[in-house]
Amino acid sequence: MACRMFEHRFAVLGSVREVAAFHYGSRSFDCLAPPGCFLRVHHQEPLADNSVNEFTMWVGPVPVYWKAVHSEVRETGFVDTQLAGPMKSWVHRHTFERVSDDKTIVVDRVRYEHFSGWRGVRSQILFAKTSLRVLFGWRAWATRRGVRSICCDV
């Protein structure tokens, strides 16, 4: 199967620093999981270069195991790369672009590849373009909400 690309961008009322603080906070991982998606974290390290997250999420009755490593961790974004999981490959670049002191554009770029065979059929169903649009739409809403709560605490 060929490598595919997915991109999603959205605006957040908050500075780059506030958006980064939300993403780098220990609660963001849970906040970004969509409703109806049960998440069991097996291992989570604070977001830094070479930190690892390992979890299983249930999409309905289907368990999806995932292990990812982080890299290029900066205030302006980071990359997470799947080490093990449902995809043949998955590299997700999170970028926080300053628009003004109180507005940031979040850009999610994912380069991914499905396995062939039955594993590929499963991942194509779970991670179809429509599913990715819904997932990242939820993440946009959750990020906006999370950044607002952080802003209120500052």
Ordered by where they begin, the domains of the chain are 4-33+71-153 (3.30.530.20)
What is the distance between the terminal CA atoms of the chain, rounded to a whole angstrom?
47
Q: Which residue has the tokens 């995809």?
A: 87
pLDDT at 154 over 50: no
With CA atoms as reference, report the closest residue to 79 among 93, 89, 96, 95: 93
For 35-49, what is each residue's pLDDT tens digit?
Answer: 888 889 999 999 999
Please count the CA atoms within 13 angstroms of the CA of 137 that sit on its side-chain side: 7
79 and 72 in contact (C-beta within 8 Å)? Answer: yes
- List Cβ neighbours of 61 (8 Å cut-off, separation of 6 or more): none
pTM over 0.85: yes
What's the pLDDT band for 153 if we cut at 50, 70, 90?
A: very low
For 89-146, what is each residue's pLDDT tens digit?
Answer: 999 999 999 999 999 999 999 999 999 999 899 899 889 999 999 999 999 999 999 9
- Say how far apart CA 38 and CA 87 lie, in whole Å: 19
- Average pLDDT of the segment spanning 53-58: 94
CB atoms within 10 A of CB 14: 25
